[in-house]
Chain A
Amino acid sequence: GQNIDQPTEMTATEGAIVQINCTYQTSGFNGLFWYQQHAGEAPTFLSYNVLDGLEEKGRFSSFLSRSKGYSYLLLKELQMKDSASYLCASVDSNYQLIWGAGTKLIIKP
């Protein structure tokens, strides 16, 4: 079966660094997306990885290991506005997105 696992909730302190992990098991693999979703709003695109390694984009970085079926999103210099849910989605062999339930990130001052 197809499965995406990510922690339900994480708490971090403003100014700190947090790593949100995602493990996936899908039929075929054509990359992995990370989206941000603030409460009551639509998901918005953060990153897409299809090759192994780390991709950095400002305060946010995303890592992929295809052999381990593992990805993480790294958020640096946390700000209160980073409080949101972070959704991991794997692209399967039919190019459909298989979504995790999301990780709710709570930032404390």
Chain B
Amino acid sequence: TAGITQAPTSQILAAGRSMTLRCTQDMRHNAMYWYRQDLGLGLRLIHYSNTAGTTGKGEVPDGYSVSRANTDDFPLTLASAVPSQTSVYFCASSATLAGGADTQYFGPGTRLTVL
């Protein structure tokens, strides 16, 4: 069972360029999330989606956008990357439709460096 896959594994990106981080899950989970993890800080929620067709802003949404065209995919786009977006990005999913405290399952992460 693949669970959640993310691509690419790592990327070096020039400042000002755009990039899409891909995330796919095969668990038919309704909810999906994007987090960034920085040294010394907890995971911070960027955007989330409770179900296909809906998205919401998390704690740190500026500079990022997401879409949820179907249940399985939840891409994260950086329109114009800045060095402060250097981080490890984790995609996660949970069964929850709306509300609830279901366990979140994480993808392997994408390590992004913006120069």
Contacts and interface: CB of A to CB of B under 8 A. Distances in A.
A48 B103 contact: yes
A95 B90 contact: no
Contact of B42 (A45, A50, A96, A100): A100
Q: Which of B48, B101, B106, B109 has the most CB of A within 10 A?
A: B101
22 contacts: A4-B42, A33-B101, A33-B104, A42-B90, A42-B108, A43-B43, A43-B90, A43-B106, A44-B106, A45-B103, A45-B105, A48-B103, A87-B42, A89-B43, A95-B99, A95-B100, A95-B101, A96-B45, A97-B43, A97-B45, A100-B42, A102-B42
Given A95-B100, A99-B42, A101-B41, 6 more contacts: A42-B109, A48-B103, A91-B101, A95-B101, A97-B104, A100-B42
A7 interface: no
**Interface size class for chain B?**
20 to 34
A95 B100 CA distance: 6
The 5 A-B pairs of least Cβ separation, nearest first, read: A99-B42, A42-B106, A99-B43, A91-B101, A31-B101
Interface residues of A, number: 22
Contact of A50 (B41, B101, B109): B101
Interface string B55-90: 000100000000000000000000000000000001
Interface of A: 4, 30-31, 33, 41-45, 48, 50, 87, 89, 91, 95-102
Interface of B: 40-45, 48, 58, 90, 96, 99-101, 103-109
Contacts of A4: 42
B58 A96 contact: yes
Contacts of A33: 101, 103-104
A86 B20 CA distance: 29
B26 to A, nearest CB: 16
A30 B96 CA distance: 14
B109 A101 contact: no
A98 B60 CA distance: 13
A42 B45 contact: no
A31 B45 CA distance: 18
